[in-house]
Amino acid sequence: ARRARRPIVGGNWKCNPDKVSKLDGLIANIQAVDTAGCDVFVCPSPLHVAYCNGKFTNGAKVVPQNCNAMGCGAYTGEMAVEQMKDLGITQVLIGHSERRGEFGIFPFDDNTTLAKKLKYVLDAGMSCVFCIGEPKEIRERGLDAVLAEMDKQLDQIYHLLDPSRVVIAYEPVWAIGTGLTATPEDAQATHAGIRALIAKKASPAVAEGIRIQYGGSANAKNAPDLAAQPDVDGFLVGGASLKPEFKDIVAAMAKAKSA
């Protein structure tokens, strides 16, 4: 029963690429992935979602990088889940650290707006990848401080955590795009701590069933050791998802979880 959680790996292309002409090559990288032992999704930039949608025959899903909590209407610059559903899209990502205001970017979201968004997404019948994570200042204070911050970020959504429809993506923000990576032991300790919080604040069954991705500079080299950790159920991959090595990251995860 322990290995009932199916691994899940996503590629977040962020605000890339700069030209539509480059999309076919990036799509080919995702299309090359074997999804037999692992769920796979990709998050294209908003302008590229429609182009990428329907291009994958291997089961990979297109997952937009954000949505609003209001639906269609006078919300300039926003994307609505109703529009996504019409495109046949079933899943959306919210709460990425870059949307929460990291790296000097204006904070578009906070824990309260994200709780509203998650409820709206689930009420609409969609599923969600919900990102949480801590900056370097908190990590430097130790694991207890990190988990206190994770509790704060999860506090308004514990009651919404349906393992069949919500995936948690844990991002050590200090490891995004910096080349720094948590050691496999650090990643495991943090993921286990998050799972313990969910067991306490939601239920042990939810904690056992929910998938927690690691989102800190995963690449083909470090993927096998990270994937071997029992509470790491997948990856949310940034820069490496724009490269052919993405298939190797997925293969490492599938192999580790089939063992």
> Which has the closest alpha carbon to 11: 190, 226, 215, 160?
215
Active-site residue list: 96, 171
Q: Work out the angle between the directed axes of helices 23-31 and 246-258 (0-180°, nearest 10).
A: 20
3-state SS string for 155-171: CCCHHHCCCCCEEEEEE
Q: Which residues pair with 128 in a beta bridge?
A: 92, 166
- 78, 46 Cβ separation under 8 angstroms: no
Phi, psi of 75 (to 5 degrees): -130, 75
CB-CB contact of 240 with 249 (8 Å): yes
